[in-house]
Every structure is written in structure tokens, then in C-alpha cells.
Structure 1
Amino acid sequence: MRMLRWICGVTRRDEIRNAVIRGTVGVTEILDKIQKSRLRWYGHVMRYEQYIGRRVMEMEVQEMRRRGRPKRRWMDCIKDDLRSKGLTGDEVWDRGRWKKLPKNIEPT
């Protein structure tokens, strides 16, 4: 973010929010980019039949009982991403449609 402030010629004393600077420069948030690449990788994994990662995803693992909060897994993130985009996960089989769906409006 410091680089964007430098590009715009804005200092911290100007008290301009990061969202405003991102809008002027035309850059999306990093979380959106991460979500996009995670969904793209999920599409690759699901469509490739012989991929070991897909077989591992479909395995049932006996969980040990732990104290505290459960660990956040990759599939938990994928489920949240699909829910936020309004997708069910069945769209992954139509590659042309899937390629267009997870994209964000991304100027750069």
C-alpha cells in the first residue's frame, strides 16, 4: 500500500483511505486476487481425474479430538469462496463457464 501512496503522491498526513487510493489507481484488493487464484486452482484439481490431490480431497480421514478451535483447511476456504460468489461447485465441470465465473473486475 505504501507503493500506491507513493505513486499517487499522497502522504499519511493527507488521511485518505486505502480504498480511495485503490480506486484512483485501479487496483483490486489482495484478498480478491487470492480468492480468484484459489478458485482457479480448485477448478484444475476437480477437473483432473488422475490428480493425487483430488483423491486426497475425497478421502475420509479419522479426526482426533482436539481442544479449542478447529484448524482452518483449504476446503473450508473454498466453501466460503463458493458461497460468497453464489456458486454451488457444480459449475466447475463446464470449463468455459467456470473460467469466467471466479474472475473479479480487475483492472490490473
Structure 2
Amino acid sequence: MELVDTMVRRKINIACVQETKWVGAKAKEIDGFKFYYTGVERNRNGVGIMVDKYLKDCVTSVVRKEDRIILVKLIIGENIINIVSAYAPQVGLDERCKKHFWDQMDELIQDIPIGEKLYIGGDFNGHVGKDCEDYDKVHGGSTSLYKKKVYS
């Protein structure tokens, strides 16, 4: 319900969500919006895509890749739009898990025809380094130097 409220207030049509922690490969109607999700294990991982009430009837297909990748395909007018929500493995997980995720992402992306639009939203667990020195405009940290530059 909070996500729907935020989407309405901020005028967002489609939202990609990670760490849903919901089990199943389902779709759920919430206040006229439609939430497509996939998750394998309760309280772990899971991704979803929330589509507003104006676009939910434009969804033509959903592709789920275990509990870390979901794609929703929409046809809006003459445009075919693919929305991907992804949740990459964290730093501490083994290389096999990371390779599996990237292989699945690559396979999914390669299957999208060239003429179709692609938008990817996700948590890719990227790391610039141990601190934000020299990355003050791109690193997610909140140092006093960063605050002074942005809010001065």
C-alpha cells in the first residue's frame, strides 16, 4: 500500500522493487495497480515490478528468472517496452552465484529484439571503493564534504 501511495503522490507509472522477500511467481492487484513478483525463499531476495492502473492492461508478458530477475513487457501505442527489475548478488556471495545471475541477465537481455525499448531498474550491489573520496558526485555515501558541495 505504501508503494502505491508513493507512486500516486509522485506520479510514477512503473516501479522496480528489490528485496520483496515474497515467495511465488505471481501477480497481485493492489488498489487498481498490478504488482508482478517472483521470489523463491521467504525473507530473502525477491524482485517485483509495480504497474499503475493506466498501464496494467498494456502488459503482454512476464518473464521471471528465479528470485533475482523479472521482466514485464508492455505494448503502449506502437512501442514495445521491456522493464527489468534485478537484484544482483552481494559482495559476500560466491562467484558461482554471481556468474549465474549475470548469465541469466545476459540471456534475458539477448532475447529482447533490437527494435524494442529496454529499461532496467535494480540493486546491482556495486561498490566504488571503501570510501567516497574522489567520487563525491556518484558515491552514495553522505560525507560532510558532499553535503557542503550539494547544499551550499
Is TM more than 0.5 here?
Answer: no
- Tell me which interval the TM-score lies in, with the shorter structure as reference length: under 0.3
Q: What is the TM-score when the length of structure 1 is the normalising length? A: 0.24
Of the two, which has the highest radius of gyration?
Answer: 1
Q: What is the TM-score when the length of structure 2 is the normalising length? A: 0.19
Higher relative contact order (CA 8 A, sep 6+): 1
- Give the strand-richer structure, 1 or 2: 2
- Give the helix-richer structure, 1 or 2: 1
